[in-house]
Amino acid sequence: MALKKKPVTGMRDILPAEMQIRDYVMNQIKETYKQFGFSQIETPCVEHIENLTSKQGGDNEKLIFKILKRGDKLDVGSAQTEADVVDGGLRYDLTLPLSRYYAANGANLPSPFKALQMGSVWRADRPQKGRFRQFVQCDIDILGDATSLAEIELILATTTALGKICPDNAFTVRINDRGILKGMAAYCGFPEEGYDQVFIILDKMDKIGEEGVKAELLEAGYRQEQAENYLSLFSRFGKDAESVRQMGKLLADAGALDGEVCENLAYIMDTVSQAAETQFALAFDPTLVRGMSYYTGTIFEVSMEGFGGSVAGGGRYDKMIGKFTGNETPACGFSIGFERIVTILTDQGFTVPGSGLKKAYLFEKGISQETLSQVIREASRERKEGVQVLVAQMNKNKKFQKEQLQKEGYREFKEFYREGLKK
């Protein structure tokens, strides 16, 4: 059987030109987050299957790459259920591993703990542009802070990073609260046991529009009056903090929501707007759902001009860590869609700014050992001065070789021949 050259479907090889962009983006994100006081951590890429399937990851639990037991623990012949042969899986995000990490190590960490985590995750999803089965996530989370300062810091840190990486792309932070979603559903008479179904349908708003949402609500068995009242709420209020307060008064007067929920969200919006140094739009979006079932409060997403879908998202998940420890711990996080940002920059023909001079020393086949030593010594001298120098034997097709090196950013060439240097 012939070996396969192409990577597994949904995975990909990354060429040097893109790798330079990826390194640049990752370093910009990391540097920015550290300036905001976040500490970098790392968790294993493999998690216990019980954790991954604990009904906290929403649809992602259907996309787990599962790992068979090893050695004498694997007995396929006597297996009755999947649990008999599977005991682990590749992580589908960084939030669940962080929760386990904090549960195991919280006693040795400061409180609140500001975590920065960057790494690959895996989902057995259908690949498409900007979406792969293996991809990098860049997360910041604040654990142990129940106040709105957590949301404010996360939004400011993330928007500062995006502003540095994509200064020419306008972007919008959309914000909502799961409490407001529930309050709106209660106000319109939806039964509490049906909230999740209603939110799943609402989450399709940007794809199927209001008429599509209404049709699906009716198809699910809800009354036309409920559906129409529900949809009318979304166009009834604006996108600023004052609109959030007006929404809160309406829902509180009807007994559908504690007014503090909307006041807290308005406070976050006001503070972010006054404190932000990066230019972006901040908009209340009562249709924002976010699919993860673990969100308990504030939720947010970032959309960027010229790119469909979100490029960052997150929210508050105060109950997840308690599933490990038995004690609820306030938690809030924001994740940048690293692969989507790289795709945007690549499509724009982005080049890494301020990269140092890159030179290529090409020597002819058959030069003497003494000449080669001289070439290497000269390259070493330039490297000490901060120049990136490649030493390589000259190919027969020298023109093509230089064209390929130019694609990787090499701008100066020195050629060495048996009879001496030729620039």
Residues in the chain: 423
Find residue 309's DSSP bridge partners. none
Q: What digits encode the pLDDT tens for the residues 306-351?
A: 777 789 999 999 999 999 999 999 999 999 999 989 988 988 888 8
Compute the C-alpha angle 208/169/60, nearest 5°.
45
Distance CA 64, CA 60 (A): 7
Dist. CA 137–CA 121, nearest whole Å: 7
Q: Is the dihedral of CA 370, 371, 376, 378 positive or negative?
A: positive
User: What confidence score (pLDDT) does residue 411 get?
Assistant: 86
Pairing of the two strands 134-143 and 331-336: antiparallel
Cis omega (within 30 of 0) for bond into 112: yes
Q: What type of residue is 232?
A: S
Structure tokens at 151: 């949301």
β-bridge partners, 213: none
Residues in contact with 350: Cβ distance below 8 Å, sequence separation at least 6, in sequence order: 21
pLDDT per residue as tens, the chain (423 positions): 889 999 998 999 998 889 989 999 999 999 999 999 999 999 999 999 999 998 877 778 889 999 988 766 666 666 567 777 788 999 999 999 999 999 999 999 999 999 999 999 999 988 877 678 999 999 999 999 999 999 999 999 999 999 999 998 899 999 999 999 999 999 999 999 988 889 989 988 888 988 998 999 998 899 999 999 999 998 889 999 999 999 999 999 999 999 899 999 999 999 999 999 899 999 999 999 987 678 999 999 999 987 777 899 999 999 999 999 999 999 999 999 999 899 889 888 888 886 678 899 999 888 888 889 999 999 999 999 888 999 999 998 999 999 989 888 888 999 998 876 554
Closest CA to 302 of 115, 105, 131, 162: 162
Q: Confirm if 308 and 343 have CB atoms less than 8 A apart.
A: no
Backbone angles phi, psi at 42, to 5 degrees: -145, 140
Q: What is the pLDDT of residues 137-176, one digit of tens each?
A: 999 999 999 999 999 999 999 999 999 999 988 999 999 9
This prediction's pTM: 0.87
